[in-house]
Amino acid sequence: MGVYLLVLVGTTIGVTDATRTCAAWPACGAGLSLPTTASGALVVGHRLAAVVVGLLVLAAGVAALRTDTSRRVRVALGVAVVCYPIQAAMGAFVATTGAAAPLPAVHLLIGLVIFGGLVAALAWTLEARTGDPDDGPVADPDTLAPPEKPGGDEGSRPSLPENPIPRTRALAGAYFRLMKPRLMWLLCLVASAGMALAAGPALTPRTVVLTLVGGVLSIGASGTFNHVFERDIDRRMSRTNDRPLATDVVSVRNALAFGGLLTVGSLAAFAAVNLLVAVLGLVAIVFYSVIYTLVLKPNTVQNTVLGGAAGALPALIGWGAVTGSVGIGGLLLATVIFLWTPAHFYNLALAYKDDYARGGFPMMPVVRGETETRKHILWWLGATFVGAGVLAAWASLGWVYVATTVTLGAVFLWAVIRLHLDRTESAAFRAFHASNAYLGSLLLAVVVDTLAF
Amino acid 145: pLDDT = 54
Specify whether the CB–CB gap between 192 and 312 falls below 8 A.
Answer: no
Amino acid 154: pLDDT = 46
Specify whether the CB–CB gap between 43 and 35 falls below 8 A.
Answer: yes
Q: What is the pTM of this model?
A: 0.90
21 versus 252: which is more confidently predicted? 252
27 versus 234: which is more confidently predicted? 234
152: pLDDT strictly greater than 70: no
44: pLDDT strictly greater than 70: yes
Amino acid 151: pLDDT = 43
Element (H, E) at 284: helix 275-286
Amino acid at 335: T
Task: Give the phi and the psi of residue 149 in degrees, each rounded to 5.
Answer: -80, 155
Amino acid 262: pLDDT = 97
Specify whether the CB–CB gap between 423 and 130 falls below 8 A.
Answer: yes
237: pLDDT strictly greater than 60: yes
Residues 6+ apart with CB under 8 A from 335: 312, 387, 391
140: pLDDT strictly greater than 70: no
List, for residues 284-314, the tens digit of each pLDDT value. Answer: 999 999 999 999 999 999 999 999 999 999 9
List, for residues 45-102, the tens digit of each pLDDT value. Answer: 888 898 999 999 999 999 998 888 899 999 999 999 999 999 888 877 777 776 666 7
Residues 6+ apart with CB under 8 A from 28: 21, 22, 34, 35, 36, 40, 43, 44
* Burial annotation 412-438 (CB, 10 A radius, 16+ → b, else e): bbebbbbbbeebeeebbbbbbebbeeb
C-alpha pair distances (Å), 420 with each of 341, 379, 441 = 19, 13, 24
Amino acid 15: pLDDT = 59
Q: Quote the CA–CA distance of 319 and 136 in Å, as a whole number.
A: 42
DSSP code for 363: -
The DSSP result for 200-222, as a single string, is STT--HHHHHHHHHHHHHHHHHH
Averaged pLDDT, 116-140: 85
List, for residues 172-210, the tens digit of each pLDDT value. Answer: 999 999 999 988 999 999 999 999 999 866 688 999 999
Residue from 54, 394, 340 nearest 190 by CA: 340
Averaged pLDDT, 148-163: 58
Q: Quote the CA–CA distance of 187 and 103 in Å, as a whole number.
A: 36
Work out the mean pLDDT of the chain and round it to a whole number.
88
C-alpha pair distances (Å), 293 with each of 161, 198, 217, 230, 252 = 32, 31, 18, 8, 16
Amino acid at 49: A
Q: Which of 108-117, 157-166, 212-221, 383-392 has the lowest mean pLDDT?
A: 157-166
Amino acid 144: pLDDT = 58
- What ranges do the domains of the chain cover? 2-130, 173-451
56 versus 106: which is more confidently predicted? 56
33: pLDDT strictly greater than 90: no
Residue from 159, 194, 196 nearest 277 by CA: 194
Using DSSP's 3-state secondary structure scheme, residue 295 falls into: helix
Counted residue by residue, the chain has a size of 453
Q: Which residues pair with 205 in a beta bridge?
A: none
Question: What share of the chain in percent tops pLDDT 90?
Answer: 65
Q: Quote the CA–CA distance of 305 and 444 in Å, as a whole number.
A: 24
CATH hierarchy code of domain 173-451: 1.10.357.140
